[in-house]
Structure formats: structure tokens, C-alpha cells
Structure 1
Amino acid sequence: MIKVENLSFSFPQKELYKDISFTLEEAQHCAFIGTSGSGKSTLIDILMDPERYLFEGKLEIDPTCKIGYVSQFSQLDSTKETTVFEYIGEEFIKLQNEITSICNEMETSSDIEPLIEKYQFALDAFDAMGGDHFESNINKKLNLANLLKLKDVRVSDLSGGEFKLIQVMKEMLHSPDLMIMDEPDVFLDFENLNALKKLINTHKGILLVVTHNRYLLNHCFNKIIHLENTEIQEFDGRYIEYNFSLLQTKMELQEIAVAEAEEIERYDNIIDNLRAIATINSDASRGRALKARVRFQERLEARRIKAPFVDIKQPNIRFGIENEIEDSMVVKVNNYSVAFDELLLENVSFEIKSTDKVAIIGPNGTGKTTLLRDIFNNNHESIDINDDVKMAYLSQNQGEVLKDSNTILEEFIDAGFKTYDEVRAYISNYGFEGEIVNQKIESLSGGEKNILQLAKVSASHANVLLLDEPTSHLDTYTQIALEKAIEDYKGAILMISHDFYSVVNGMDYVLIIDNKTMRKMTMKKFKKMIYASHFDKDYLEAEQNKKAVEMKIELALKDTNFEYAKVLVDELEKLIELL
């Protein structure tokens, strides 16, 4: 068991945790969630290397606890000629070669005693690692992830998504007591995401996974740890049940708050009457009655329940347009091709109209990003852009749009804002307030950088948006806010995404990569295709129904119609059982 008690930690410009406590126990698969910049990755760093951090509190991890770790920023070493099998089994193969070398040495050595001792030590270490079965275990994991075909492929030839899965397998092969993964799902295509789900669900040890991916959250975890506003909350159960619990709590708290507000208003009126009487009549007993009433009112105010996990502020994302284009072609691609070491796309042709919302779908490494970048730069002979188009671009390579050495304020001055006050007022809608606006962009989390990109896209008032993996690193609250902004947007969107929910909830149709070219696919056909590999029948329809009921509950709560909200909550509970 891993135990954290009363942990507090802060940076000079920001307090991250205040007296947080949680436990991780055997067989728990735990999703670690929280809004961008809340300190999830830092907490993982503390668990990995507590000696490096000056934190207050108690951290109990058995010294013999073996920790496996997969970083969100893993880099491929293109200089290595190692095959996938050799990379995953690196430590096993190294020890196996050492044992073979000792055996060879023993055949010719006259002093065999120290070699026997060395041989036995290496053999014990190999057995402790489960070395006898490492080859079959690698094959099983590759097969589980549908990547057995890559066994003899060089690691340097893998896509980023494939390499991420190979890393996960390598760490899992050592059977760690605690396996930590920091956003292992970022940029994974549909097939690789499904493979990651299988690897997570078959892992036997304790898992702590930072993720905002709704597919994984709904299908992989039996415990939730939620970090928000320096506090932490534990929940034993599925993510969908956790959200339902939050909604129930929100309703209860709001009902209490309305009742208290009515009571406070009643006492306000009594106090006003007592004050009016006291100005006319200076009787001491009336003065004492007034003071008692004021003290009682203060106690009522103090009783108001603060619930940082119940009502989390979403960024206010709005994509406005300065110059709307009438229903006409805004982007035309005709016989576009792209190749690097090999041909990726060939004879790609499509048109985007002024209000089309289109997702580009395809495996990792098939040229999607290059196509989007070429459209933005408008420097390719196969691409034609309407003269009235104003484009905004969000890149999965955040450094392409954001300058790391800038502060947040400087970044928006460079983007055309006139004063720092104007920037502060604008970016407060996206959750950037206080000292953080003076931080360098390089110090921000991946999610915070993507929110800044969204803020820049919004500020451009463009009529065509090119979005490359816009949901990557975003917390679920911001993902939902982005979906709403996409739904309300009046211009055209061309979006690369591997997020089922964003595509299904916001796009009109998809352009799917098939045999190195693209074909148009209706949303109905796309849903049918992904159901076959990823979801139970009618799952997304049930998800949509759930979302519709949740919206009705929100409206009922706004109208303080608690009786109707309770009826809807019962309806929601039945839908959740189906999911």
C-alpha cells in the first residue's frame, strides 16, 4: 500500500497542495484527474523521487516497492537500431547475455569459485525478474495490443503512438508493484487507444494513471483520485459513478444553499427592522437583540458549504467571427500528395464549405498534421484557399504557436492586444488569473499551453479553424467547454482528432485515411465503424441521452426546481446502469 498523509507543497508563485491525503492499495486501477495546472505531474514526481522535494507531510512507500513509470513526454531515440522485441526485453536480454558470458568464461578459467558465485547471483536475479518466461510474455503483450507484426521492426521506425505502447509494455513486463503513467493516451489513434485500454485492464498490480481521456476513464478504472484547488478527493468506483455522485452532491448543496439564503434574507429583514427601531428607541435590550441577530447571521454565512469539487469553473471558450463567408468553398484540396521516407498520402482531394465541421481520421504517422500545416501555410500547388478566408491554427506541437520564452502576458501582446490590462481581462475567461500571467510559457503544463492556444484561436476571430488534436492534455471540463464552442461556431472547422466524443459530438462528417488517400464518411457510418472495435452497441447514443438528461438537470437547478431535478436524477441513474 502507498500512503500519503497531510502532504503540502508549493512553488514560489503557486500553492499546489494543502494537507492532502490518499492511499493506493493492491489491485486498484486509479485514474488521477484534475484541471490543467493543478499539480498532477508534480505529485507524481514527488512519489517517484521524494528526496528531491521539500514537502510537508508523510509519504509511506515500502523501500522495496518497485515502481514502473511512463512519462507523457517520451522521446524516440532515432539513433538506436534496436528492434521492438530487443527494446522491450532489454534488461532480460542483457542479463541473459551476462549469464551466457559467465558460462563461457567458466569453461576456460582455472579459478572457477568466484565465477560460480557470480553465475548464481545473475541466475537468481534473472529468476526474480521472471526471466524464464520473458519471451512468451513479450509476445503475449504484443499480441494483446495487436502489434505482434512489429516484433522485429526497428524502434526508430515506429510512430509516436506505437512507441508509447511499447514503453507501456516494457514497464509492465517487470511486474512493478506500482505502475505510474502520465497521460499515456495523448495523440494515440483509435486502434492504439484500444490497445492501451487492454493493457491497462489486464495489468495485475497497482496503477496510477493521469488521464483526461473519457474513453479510458469510462472503461478502465475502479478508483478516482481528484485533485482540485489544493485539495484532493478519493472515490472508490468508476468514473461515470463518480460524476453521478458529484451531480447528486451539487444538487444537495444547492438545495441547502437556497434554503440558507432564504433564512439569511429573513434575518436581514429582522435586523433592518431592529436597526430602524434602535435609531428611534435607545433601549439597551433592543441593542442586545440586534447584536444577537447579527451574530446569528454571521454563523449562518460561515455554515455555507464550500465544495471545490462540485462546481469547477470551466473556461469560457467562444469562437467568434469578424467576417462570415456565404455558403461557398473555403478550402479546396486537389490531388495532394506527401512523402517523407515513404509515400504517406497520394491523390487526396476534398472541399470544405464555409460552415462545414470536418474531422480528419487516420492512424498515427499518415501525414494528417503535414496536410493541415500545408493548408495553413497555403504554399502547396494542390491547395486553394478562398480570398476571404482568415485562418487560425492550433498545433499539437505547442512550440509552433507559442513562444516558450514569453510570459503569458507577452504572448498576447505579440498576438495584437494593446495593453496588459486588456490581456488580463481576456485570459481570465480561460482560468489564467493572478501571478500565473507573469509565468514563462515553458513552465506551464501541457493542458495550460493548449488552453492558451485555444484562447489565441478565439482572439483571432477567424472564419476557418484548423485544429490539430485540440483535446490533447485538456481536462474533461475544458474538453466539454471546447465541444460547446465548436457547436456554437458559425465558421468552418477542419480538425484532426482521435477523441471519439469530440468527433461524434461536434463534427458534420469525417475524412478518413484509407490506403494512402482520403474518402468522405458520414457520421452514421463512422459511428458504425468504431462500434465494431471500441464500443458496445448503442453506447454513444446512450452517452448522448445521458448528456441530454444532465443538461436538463443543470437547467432545473438554475431554476431551483429541485423536485423536477430529482426526477431527472432517477432517470440519469437508469441510463448510467446501461453504460
Structure 2
Amino acid sequence: MIKVDNLSYSFPQKDLYNKISFTLEDGQHCAFIGTSGSGKSTLIDIIMDPERYMFDGKLEMDPNCRIGYVSQFSQLEKTKETTVFEYIGEEFIKLQNEITSICTEMETSSDIDTLLEKYQQALDAFEAIGGDDFESNINKKLNLANLIKLKDLMISELSGGEFKLIQVIKEMLNSPDLMIMDEPDVFLDFENLNSLRNLINSHKGMMLIITHNRYLLNHCFNKIIHLENKELQEFDGRYIDYNFSLLQTKIELQELAAEDDKEIERNEILVKKLRHIATNDSNTAKGRALRRRVKIQERLEERRIKTPFVDIKQPNIRLSTFNKIEETIALKVNDYSVAFNEMLLENVNFEIKSTDKVALIGSNGTGKTTLLREIFKNNRDSIEINNEVEVAYLSQVQGEILNESNTILEEFFHAGFETSGDIKSYISNYGFEEEVLEQKIGSLSGGEKNILQLAKVSASKANMLLLDEPTSHLDTYSQIALEKAIENYKGAILMISHDYYSIVNCMDYVLIIEDKTIRKMSMRKFRKMIYANHFDKDYLEIEEKKKSVETKIALALKDTDFELAKILSEELEELIKLL
């Protein structure tokens, strides 16, 4: 068991945790969620290497606890000259060779006792990680992830998504007591995401996984820990049930807050009356009555309902455009081809209208990012962009658009803002407080960098956006805010995405890369394809109904119609049972 008790930790610029506590037990698969920049990755670092950090509170875990770790920033080792099988089995092969070497040495050595001790230590280590069946276990995991075809390939030949899954398999097969993964789903295509789901669900040990992926959250976890506004709460159960529990709490607390607001308003009227009387009448009794009423008002303000898990900051993403052009062809691609070591795309043709919102999908490594970059550069005869179209680009490689050595202030001065006041006012909508404006962009979380990219894209007021995996690293609240912004945007969007929800929620149609070409697919056909490959029957229809009811609840709460919100929450509960 891992136990965190009343842990507090601060950076020089901000406090991260205020007396947070939780436990992890054997067999639990725990999703670690929370808004971008709330300190999830730092908490994982503390668990993995507590000696590096000066924190208050207690962290209790076995000193011999073996931790497997997959980073969100792991890079494909292009120069690594080893096969996939050898890479996964590295620890097993090393111990196997050590055992063989000791046995060979025993044949000629006179110091048998020392060698026997070494032999037993190596054998114990080999057995502790399930060494007897390691070849069979590697094959099973590769089959489960639908990657057996990669077994004899060199590591350098893999796509980034394939390598991420190979890393997950390698760490799992070393039989850690605790498996930690930091956003392992980022940039995985549909097939690889499904493979990750299978790997997570097949693992028998304790897991702690930072993820914002709604597909994984709904299908992989039996415990949730949620870090928000320096506080943490834990929930034993599914993410979908946790979300429903949060919504019910929100309805109850907003109802109480509405009553508090009425009482505060009534009291404010009395305070104003008494203040008016006191200024025109020197009667000390009137002054005392005013002071008493002011104290009552202060107490009411203090007890006003506040909760870190209901008042979650959602960025106000607005994708603006200077000039909305009449419906016309914004982008035309004619006979476009691109190759590196081999042909990626050949004689591709498509066009996008000035108001189309289009998802570009395809497996990892099929040329999606290359195409988007070349459209942005616009220096090939096969790519035509309408003269009235202004293009902005969001990259999955965040350092391509953001200068990570800049502060946020410097970045937005370079983007054309004239005063720090303008920047402060603009960037506050995206959830960045004044104290972080002097912070280097390189020190921000992955999610914060993507939000910053979105702010920069929006500030350009372009009427065509090229978005490469814009939901990557974003927390679920920011993902939903981005979907709303895309829906309200008046220009054209071409978006690379592997997020089912974002595509279904806000795209008009799909361009799918298959067999080195691109074909157009209606949303109806796309949904049908997704059902067939990834979901149980009717799953997305139920999700759609669920989203619709949640929207109605949000509107009811906005109108302070708490009775309607409660009735709708019962309807929502029935839909959740179907999922």
C-alpha cells in the first residue's frame, strides 16, 4: 500500500498542495485527474523520489517498492540498434546472460561458494520478474496490443505511438509493485489507444495513471484521485460515477449558495439603510445596530459555499476571426504527394470551404502532420490557399510555435500586444493569473502550453485554423471549452485528432488517410466505423444523450431552477447505468 498523509508542497511561485491525503492499494487502477498545472506530474515525482523534495506531511511506502514508469515526454530512440523483442526483454536477457556466465565460471573456478551466492541472487531476481516465461509473456502482451507484427523490427523503425506502447509493455513485464504512467495516451491513434486500454485492463498490479482521455477514463479505472485548487479527493469507483457524484454535489451546493445569496442581499439592504440612518443621526444605538449588522454580513460572506471541486476554472477559449469571408473554397489540394524513406501520400486531392470544420484522421506515421505543416508554409504548387484566407497553426510540437525561453509576457509582446495590461487582461481568460506572466514558458505543464498556443492562435484572428492534436495534454474541462470554441468559430478548421469525442462533438466531416491517399467521410459513416472498431453497440448514442442532459442541467443551474436540475439528474443516472 502507498499512503500519502497531509502532504503540503510549494514552488517559489505558487503553492501546489495543502494537506492532501490518499491511499493506493494492491490491484487498484487509479486515474489521477485535475486541471493543467495543478501539480499532478510533480506529485508523481515526489512518490518516485521523495528524497529530492522538501515537503510537509508523510509519504509511506515500502522502501523496496519497485516502480515502473512511462513518461509523457518519452522520445523514440531513432539510433537504438535493437529489435523490439530485445528492447522489451532487456532486463530478462541481461539476467539470463548473467546466470549463464556464472554457470560457465563455476566449471573452472575454485571459489564455488561465492559463485553459488551470485548465482542464487541472479536466479531470485530473474524469478521475481517472471523470467521463466518471459518470451511467452512478451508474445502475449504484443498480441494483446495487436503489435506482434513488430516483434522483429528495429526500435528505430517504429512510429512514436508504437514506441509508447512498447515502453508500456516493457515496464509492465518487469513486474513492478506500482506502475506509474504520465499521459501515456498522448498522440496515440485510434488503434493504439484501444491497445493501451487492453494493456491497462490486463495488468494485475497497482497503477497510478495521469490521463485526460475520456475514452480511457470511462473504460479503465476503479479508483479516481482528483487534484484541484491545492486540495485532493479520492473516490473508489468508476470515473463516470465520480463525475455524476460531483454533479449532484454541485446541484446541492448551488441551491444552498442561492439561499445564502438571498440572505446576503437582504442583509446588504439592511446595512445600507442603517448606514444612511447612522450618517444622519448621531444616536449611538443606531451606530451599534449598524456594526452588529456589518458583522452579520461578514459572517455570511465567510460561510458562503466554496468548494475546490465544484468551482473548477474552465478557460474561456474564444477562436476569433478578423474578417468572416463569404462561403467559398478556402483551401484546395491538387495531386499532392510526399515521401521520406517511402511514399506517405500520393496524388492526394481535396478542398475545404471557408466555413468547414474538418477532422484529418489516420494511423500514426501516415503523414498528417507533414501535410498540415506544408499547408501552413504554402510553398508548393499542389496547395492553393484563397487570397482572402489568413492561416494560423497550432503544433503538437509546442516549441515550434512557442519560444520556451520566453516568459508569457515576452511571448505575447512578440505576438503584437502593446502593453502588459492588455496581455494580462487577455490571458486571464485562459486561466493564467498575473503572478505567472513572468514565468518561463518552458516551466509550464504540457496542458498549460497548449492553452497558451490556443490563446496565441486566437489572438491572430485568422479565418482558417490548422490544429495539430489541440486536445493533447488538455484537461477535460479545457477540452470541452475548446469544443465550444470550435462550434462558435466562424472560419474554416482543419484539425488532426485522435479524440473521438472532439471529432463527433464539433466536426462537419472527416478526411481519412488510407493506402497513401485521402478520402472524405461523412460523420455518419465515421461514427459507424468507430462503433464497429472501438465501442459496444449504441455507446456513442448514449454518450450523446448523456451530453444533452448534462447541457440541460447546466442551463437549469444557470437559471437557478434546482427542481428541474434534480429531475434531469435522475434521467442522467439512468443513462449512466446503460454505459
TM-score over 0.5 (shorter chain): yes
Report Cα offsets for 1:309-349 as digits up to 9, x if no partner.
10212111111221222221111111111111111111111
- Work out the CA distance in 2 between the residues paired with 1:201 and 1:148: 19
Deviates more, 1:83-92 or 1:306-315: 306-315
1:205-284 mapped onto 2 (5 Å cutoff): 205-275=205-275
Matched, 1:401 2:404: no
Deviation at 1:114, TM superposition (A): 3.0
| 2:296 partner amino acid | F
- Normalising by structure 1, report the TM-score: 0.97
Report the secondary structure of 1:330's partner residue. strand
- Work out the CA distance in 2 between the residues paired with 1:111 and 1:291: 91
| 2:419 partner amino acid | T
Deviation at 1:183, TM superposition (A): 0.4
Report Cα offsets for 1:472-513 as digits up to 9, x if no partner.
001111100000011011111111000001111111111111
- Work out the CA distance in 2 between the residues paired with 1:455 and 1:396: 15
Deviation at 1:553, TM superposition (A): 1.0
- Work out the CA distance in 2 between the residues paired with 1:370 and 1:453: 19
- Work out the CA distance in 2 between the residues paired with 1:336 and 1:522: 22
Report Cα offsets for 1:8-40 as digits up to 9, x if no partner.
111111111111111111211111111111111
Deviation at 1:280, TM superposition (A): 6.7
Matched, 1:143 2:146: no
Deviation at 1:107, TM superposition (A): 2.9
Deviation at 1:121, TM superposition (A): 2.3
- Work out the CA distance in 1 between the residues paired with 2:313 and 2:127: 52
Partner of 1:510: 510
Report the secondary structure of 2:181's partner residue. strand
Deviates more, 1:170-179 or 1:258-267: 258-267
Deviation at 1:273, TM superposition (A): 4.5
Partner of 1:10: 10
Matched, 1:319 2:319: yes
Deviation at 1:225, TM superposition (A): 0.9
- Work out the CA distance in 1 between the residues paired with 2:384 and 2:139: 48
Q: Is the 8 A contact 2:91 2:174 kept in 1?
A: no
Distance 1:120-1:278 versus aligned 2 partners, 3 A rule = closer
Report Cα offsets for 1:499-542 as digits up to 9, x if no partner.
00111111111111111111111111111111112111121121
Partner of 2:195: 195
Deviates more, 1:532-541 or 1:67-76: 532-541
- Work out the CA distance in 2 between the residues paired with 1:410 and 1:14: 21
Partner of 2:162: 162
Partner of 1:463: 463
| 1:324 partner amino acid | K
Distance 1:106-1:290 versus aligned 2 partners, 3 A rule = same
- Work out the CA distance in 2 between the residues paired with 1:462 and 1:284: 64
- Work out the CA distance in 1 between the residues paired with 2:176 and 2:255: 46
1:109-188 mapped onto 2 (5 Å cutoff): 109-188=109-188
Deviation at 1:136, TM superposition (A): 0.8
Report Cα offsets for 1:84-142 as digits up to 9, x if no partner.
11111101001101111222222344544433332222222212221101111111110
- Work out the CA distance in 1 between the residues paired with 2:52 and 2:295: 48
Report the aligned-residue RMSD: 1.5
Deviation at 1:381, TM superposition (A): 2.2
Deviation at 1:555, TM superposition (A): 1.1
Partner of 2:548: 548
- Work out the CA distance in 2 between the residues paired with 1:541 and 1:559: 27
Partner of 2:44: 44
- Work out the CA distance in 1 between the residues paired with 2:322 and 2:169: 49
Matched, 1:368 2:398: no
Deviation at 1:272, TM superposition (A): 4.2
- Work out the CA distance in 2 between the residues paired with 1:13 and 1:372: 37
Deviates more, 1:74-83 or 1:204-213: 74-83
- Work out the CA distance in 1 between the residues paired with 2:407 and 2:527: 42
Matched, 1:519 2:519: yes
Partner of 1:392: 392
- Which ranges of structure 1 fall in alignment gaps of 5 or more residues? none
Deviates more, 1:269-278 or 1:539-548: 269-278
Q: Is the 8 A contact 2:3 2:59 kept in 1?
A: yes
Deviates more, 1:107-116 or 1:372-381: 107-116
| 2:309 partner amino acid | F
Distance 1:418-1:285 versus aligned 2 partners, 3 A rule = closer
- Work out the CA distance in 2 between the residues paired with 1:510 and 1:539: 20
- Which ranges of structure 2 fall in alignment gaps of 5 or more residues? none
Distance 1:275-1:350 versus aligned 2 partners, 3 A rule = closer
- Work out the CA distance in 1 between the residues paired with 2:334 and 2:91: 50
Report the secondary structure of 1:545's partner residue. helix
Matched, 1:435 2:425: no
Report the secondary structure of 2:107's partner residue. helix
Report Cα offsets for 1:153-208 as digits up to 9, x if no partner.
11111100010001111111122111110000000000000000011111111111
- Work out the CA distance in 2 between the residues paired with 1:390 and 1:270: 56
Q: Is the 8 A contact 2:165 2:196 kept in 1?
A: yes
- Work out the CA distance in 1 between the residues paired with 2:127 and 2:142: 22
Partner of 1:490: 490
| 2:405 partner amino acid | S
- Work out the CA distance in 2 between the residues paired with 1:343 and 1:279: 85
Deviation at 1:354, TM superposition (A): 0.7
- Work out the CA distance in 1 between the residues paired with 2:281 and 2:453: 64
Deviates more, 1:316-325 or 1:143-152: 316-325
- Work out the CA distance in 1 between the residues paired with 2:425 and 2:263: 35
Partner of 1:379: 379
- Work out the CA distance in 2 between the residues paired with 1:331 and 1:226: 43
- Work out the CA distance in 2 between the residues paired with 1:268 and 1:418: 41
Report the secondary structure of 1:430's partner residue. coil
Q: Is the 8 A contact 2:27 2:204 kept in 1?
A: yes
Deviation at 1:72, TM superposition (A): 0.5
Report Cα offsets for 1:430-482 as digits up to 9, x if no partner.
01112211011111111111001100110111111000000000111110000
Deviation at 1:294, TM superposition (A): 3.3
Report the secondary structure of 2:462's partner residue. coil
- Work out the CA distance in 2 between the residues paired with 1:428 and 1:279: 40
Report the secondary structure of 1:438's partner residue. coil
- Work out the CA distance in 2 between the residues paired with 1:256 and 1:545: 28
Distance 1:294-1:326 versus aligned 2 partners, 3 A rule = closer
| 1:464 partner amino acid | M
Matched, 1:450 2:440: no
Matched, 1:411 2:411: yes
- Normalising by structure 2, report the TM-score: 0.97
| 1:312 partner amino acid | I
Deviates more, 1:216-225 or 1:369-378: 216-225
1:21-60 mapped onto 2 (5 Å cutoff): 21-60=21-60
Report Cα offsets for 1:351-373 as digits up to 9, x if no partner.
11111111111111111100000
Q: Is the 8 A contact 2:353 2:492 kept in 1?
A: yes
- Work out the CA distance in 1 between the residues paired with 2:283 and 2:514: 89
- Work out the CA distance in 1 between the residues paired with 2:233 and 2:564: 29
- Work out the CA distance in 2 between the residues paired with 1:311 and 1:140: 45
